[in-house]
A and B are shown apart, each in its own frame.
Chain A
Amino acid sequence: MPWTRRHLLTIEELSLAEIGQIHATATAFKKILGRSVKKVPALRGKTIVNLFLEPSTRTRMAFDMAAKRLSADVISLDGASSSTTKGETLRDTAENIRALGADMIILRHAAAGSPLYLSKFLDIPVINAGDGAHEHPTQGLLDTFTMLEHLGSLKGRKVVILGDILFSRVARSNIHALTKLGAAVTLVGPSTLVPHWFTDLGVKVSHDLRSALADAEVVMLLRIQHERQSSGHFPSLGEYTSMFGLNKTRASWLNPKAIIMHPGPINRGVEIDSELADGDRSVILEQVTNGIAVRMAVLYLCSGGQPESVMPASA
């Protein structure tokens, strides 16, 4: 089946087969990253613009690096240096970038739905690098890629996502990817941050950490933002940690082979004990590394590449 999508806006709209194609392509690109010359000419002559209107380090660097590994020229723009601070609309900014000859825009934006909005009038691919609390598709793809590397298949496997789900685009993208891949997903956290509406997406919602973690093979932690305290979503970071923080005792409830994940940035001592973050069950840094291969796959496919033609030349 050929890859036909030009934009990557959400995981919700991807088919299981498309997720598989991205993962397979990422597997091929990951081999390149292990070589001494970590570069292929796939996107030579193409210009990719990283339009990051919301702060990011990891995602932006990973996209930057992925584009460079594919030999594309990359220009990065952040909120502070873009004209949006002078009152220019997103449409005008994007159309100017297009007029300057960009071949692809990678957008990070605080407003949910903004990548879809851009895709409606731009004739170049738009890649969603996180839109508000909506989706962060490449994160969901790299997380499931990492899980698949460890678990082989996700069918029927118990995956727990723990933390601030309500405001998390990472959670939403993972929910869609995981349910398509057949995993049994449970969301856990304080009831204010894990509203029951999520059950409509085909996942379980729980506020009981012990039963949720029991026998889980993956636990993914999400960052707890202290701003949620002032908005009344929970009493204090201390209470959060005492009720929902992952520590050694609680980690012992997991399946003995379970992996611990976190999309970063982590708050040591808040959602996760420092020891666990650095422990041998943690795959947090593998996620970061896989993020490059997965993003290479996405940039490559959305630029018109086909999954079966990724045959890295020998180093």
Chain B
Amino acid sequence: MSTFWIQNARIIDPAAKRDAVGDLYISDGKFVATLSAAAKKRAKKIDATGLVACPGLIDVHVHFREPGQTHKETIATGSRAAAAGGFTTVVCMPNTAPVADNAGTIQLINDSVRRDAVVRVLPTGCITVGMKGAALAPIGSLKRAGVVAITDDGDCVQSNELMRRACEYAKMFDLPIMDHCQDHSMTVGAVMNEGVMSTRLGLRGWPNAAEDLIVARNAILSEHTGAHIHLQHISSRHSVDIIRRAKARGVKITAEATPHHIALTDESLATYDTHFKMNPPLRTEEDRRAIIAGLRDGTIDIIATDHAPHTDYEKDKEFDFAPNGILGLETALPVTLAILVRQEKFKLPFVIDLMTRRPAQLLGLPAGTLAAGAAADLCLFNPNEDWTYDAKAGFSKSSNSPWHGATLTGRVKTTFVGGKIVFAQGKIL
């Protein structure tokens, strides 16, 4: 294991409330307070002048498509995209083929992770068998196999009774439940936000209310059962309000927002570009502003990408027929910096917190810190570097990004996982 001496970085460690220019040391895969004179001599020195050094980013919502949809992404390619985006821990969703609703599939995923991943990839398991919303999956066995949460992401459990039992049961194992909040009966055939734009474009609308209802349901069930429900990719302003009130009562819910929901609105759909089609859909400026306000006051806890790769030929279709989802990992940091730091004047350490310490805390992961003794998961980025994102040249197997060809500001330079450089100089090592 190499020893590193990272010099003259702006060190941001939200867990230690640290934001100062200084040096960081890594030895034996861990952060250390300092190095002996001899070790300093031996250490690989990295001049980080002008760079920010922060804990490796954590994304609790990615789709790596393995097993079964490896034409879109694999654990190998997805974890490389993560490393290139500064992420050192990602949590992948169980809507694979077959879905991850049993310990065997989790084991298969973990085998691939051990063999192929360049960052920490943690699996989730399904809430229900086959993600069909009818019967509970073997949640205890899933926990034993190593899942960090359960979720039927993409197929929100519609039965309130089953969701209640899932909450009660998962609480026994201290497993958070992640929910994609969508009332299916209100979104039949829906492909975009319901509103002025869907009316103009003649596309079937997905109303805010379909999210709001399930967010409210989950707040009620979390309060009723004491289970931790994590609300995925909040997109509606009313949902933000419901979460804020529930949290004020002490309800154990958490919530995430995606970079795309804070950066874009349904106005982007004017040309039926399927790279702006995702679920939940892009909503209005009012919704976008409410989500940013929710991040500002802590109503929304974290940023998560919902990295959802699809091939060119799958996305190259009539809008109604294209699959939902866009890439996120390689653009999350610059897009979030553009909106929250440069436009909204959030403090940089606060934004780093949204992407490191808080997601770690949310799932109880031993990550998101630069503390001496912690595994050396580290992201070095230049907050001011302009670069042009070429999705086709990225590390993901797919290239379905609305930011393809855009000039972004803020670029990841080096990513360490467990004291090893996994990404540097634009390359995976």
- Interface core residue of B202, B313, B316, B317 (most chain A CB under 10 Å): B202
Do B201 and A197 have beta carbons less than 8 Å apart?
no
B155 within 8 Å of A by Cβ?
Answer: no
The segment from B60-68, B86-94, B252-260, B318-326 found at the interface with A is B318-326
- Do A195 and B199 have beta carbons less than 8 Å apart? yes
Q: Does B203 touch A at the CB level, under 8 Å?
A: yes
Q: Are A109 and B318 in contact (CB under 8 A)?
A: yes
CA distance in complex: A272, B359 (Å)? 60
Contact between chains at A132 and B200 (CB < 8 Å): no
User: CB within 8 Å of B: which of A110-139?
Assistant: 110-114, 116-117, 131-135
B202 and A200: CB pair below 8 A? no
Answer whether residue A23 sits at the interface, using C-beta atoms and an 8 A cutoff.
no
Nearest CB of B to A199, in Å: 9
- By a CB distance below 8 angstroms, the chain B residues around A166 are 199
Instruction: Indicate if the CB atoms of B317 and A132 lie closer than 8 Å.
Output: no
Cβ–Cβ contact B320 & A111, under 8 A: yes
Contact call B202/A135, Cβ cutoff below 8 A = yes
Tell me whether B199 and A113 are in contact (CB under 8 A): no
Contact B199 A112, beta carbon cutoff 8 Å: no
B271, A116: Cβ atoms closer than 8 Å: yes
Q: Are A197 and B195 in contact (CB under 8 A)?
A: yes
Task: Given A169-B202, A172-B202, verify A111-B318 contact (CB < 8 Å).
Answer: yes
Q: Contact: B321 with A111, CB < 8 Å?
A: yes
Residues of A within 8 A of B173 (CB): none
Q: Is A77 an interface residue (CB 8 A)?
A: no
Contact A113:B316 (CB < 8 A) given known A197-B195, A197-B196, A200-B196: no
Q: Is the CB of A89 within 8 A of B319?
A: no
A198 CA / B197 CA spacing, docked (Å): 10
Given A111-B319, A197-B195, also A133-B202 (CB < 8 A): yes
For the complex, what is the distance from the CA of A297 to the CA of B142, rounded to whole Å?
66
Docked-complex contact B199 and A201, CB < 8 angstroms: yes
Across the interface, which residues of B come within 8 angstroms of A131, CB to CB?
A: 202
Shortest CB-to-CB span from B40 to chain A, Å, is 59
Chain A residue nearest to B316 (CB atoms) is A91
User: Cα distance A118–B30 when bound, in Å?
Assistant: 55
A176 to chain B, nearest CB (A): 10
Contacts of A134 in B (CB 8 A): 201-203
B201 CB to nearest A CB, Å: 6
Instruction: Please tell me if A90 contacts chain B, counting CB pairs below 8 Å.
Output: yes
Q: Is the CB of B313 within 8 A of A112?
A: no
Q: Is B387 an interface residue (CB 8 A)?
A: no
Cβ contact within 8 Å between B318 and A113 = yes
On whether A112 and B316 interact (CB within 8 A), knowing A197-B196, A201-B199, the answer reads no
CA A116 to CA B201, docked complex, whole Å: 12
Contact A116 B202 (CB under 8 A): no
Q: Which residue of A lies closest to B320 (CB)?
A: A111
Q: Which residue of A lies closest to B274 (CB)?
A: A117
B181-207 near A? 1/0 per residue, CB < 8 Å: 000000010000001101111111000
> Considering the chains assembled together, what is the distance between the CA atoms of A200 and B271 in angstroms?
18
Q: Which residues of A contact B271 (CB under 8 A)?
A: 113, 116
Residues on B with C-beta less than 8 A from A133 are 202-204
Interface string of B248-271 (1 = CB under 8 A from A): 000000000000000000000001
Contact A132 B199 (CB under 8 A): no
Interchain CB contact (< 8 A) of A117 among B195, B200, B204, B318:
B318
Contact check, A112 vs B317: say whether CB atoms are below 8 A apart: no
Chain B contact patch, size range: 10 to 19
Chain A interface size range: 20 to 34
Residues in B with CB closer than 8 Å to A197 are 195-196, 198-199
Residues of A within 8 Å of B320, CB to CB, are 110-112, 132
Shortest beta-carbon distance from A223 to chain B in Å: 16
Contact between A89 and B202 (Cβ–Cβ < 8 Å)? no
Q: Which residue of A lies closest to B196 (CB)?
A: A200
The residue in chain B whose Cβ has the minimal distance to the Cβ of A201 is B200
Q: Is the CB of A117 within 8 A of B272?
A: yes
Report Cα–Cα, A117/B318, bound state, in Å.
Answer: 7
Q: Count chain B CB atoms within 10 A of each CB in A111, A132, A201 and give the residue with the most.
A: A111
Given contacts A116-B271, A117-B272, contact A90 B317 (CB under 8 A): yes
Most buried by B among A109, A110, A134: A134
Closest to A231 in B: B188
Chain A contacts with B in 88-116, Cβ cutoff 8 A:
89-91, 109-114, 116
Q: Beta-carbon contacts of A189-216 to B below 8 Å, as 1s and 0s?
A: 0000001011011000000000000000
B269 CB, nearest partner CB in chain A, Å: 9
> Are the CB atoms of B201 and A113 closer together than 8 Å?
yes
Contact B319 A113 (CB under 8 A): yes
B195's nearest neighbour on chain A, judged by CB, is: A197
Q: Mark B306-339, 1 if CB is under 8 A from A, else 0.
A: 0000000100111111000000000000000000
Interface centre among A113, A131, A197, A201 (most CB of B within 10 A): A113
Known: A90-B318, A111-B321. A198 touches B201 (CB 8 A): no
User: Whole-angstrom distance from the CB of A66 to the nearest CB of chain B?
Assistant: 24
Contact indicator B317/A89 (Cβ below 8 Å): yes
A131–chain B nearest beta-carbon distance, Å: 7
- In the bound complex, CA of A133 to CA of B205 (Å): 12
Residues on A with C-beta less than 8 A from B195 are 197
Residues of B with C-beta under 8 A to A231: 188
Q: How far is the CA of A197 from the CA of B319 in the complex (A)?
A: 21
Q: Which residues of A contact B200 (CB under 8 A)?
A: 12, 172, 200-201
Q: In the assembled complex, which residues on chain B have CB atoms less than 8 Å from the CB atom of A89?
A: 313, 316-317
CA distance A169 to B318 in the complex (A): 17
Contacts of B318 in A (CB 8 A): 90, 109, 111, 113-114, 117
Chain B: minimal CB distance from A128 (Å)? 11
Contact at A112–B196, with CB atoms within 8 Å?
no
Considering only CB atoms, which chain A residue lies closest to B272 in the complex? A113
Nearest residue (CB) in A for B269 is: A113
Q: How far is the CB of A87 from chain B (nearest CB, A)?
A: 12
Please determine whether A116 and B272 come into contact, CB atoms closer than 8 angstroms: yes
Closest to A133 in B: B202
Report A197-253 residues with CB < 8 Å from chain B CB: 197-198, 200-201, 231
Closest approach, in angstroms, between the C-beta of A141 and any C-beta of chain B? 17
A-B contact pairs, 5 of them (CB 8 A): A90-B318, A113-B271, A113-B318, A135-B202, A197-B199
Q: A91-B317, A200-B200 are in contact. List 9 more A-B contacts (CB 8 A).
A: A111-B318, A113-B271, A114-B318, A117-B319, A132-B320, A133-B202, A172-B202, A197-B199, A200-B199
Which 6 pairs show the lowest CB-CB distances between chains A and B? A134-B202, A113-B272, A111-B318, A133-B202, A197-B199, A112-B202
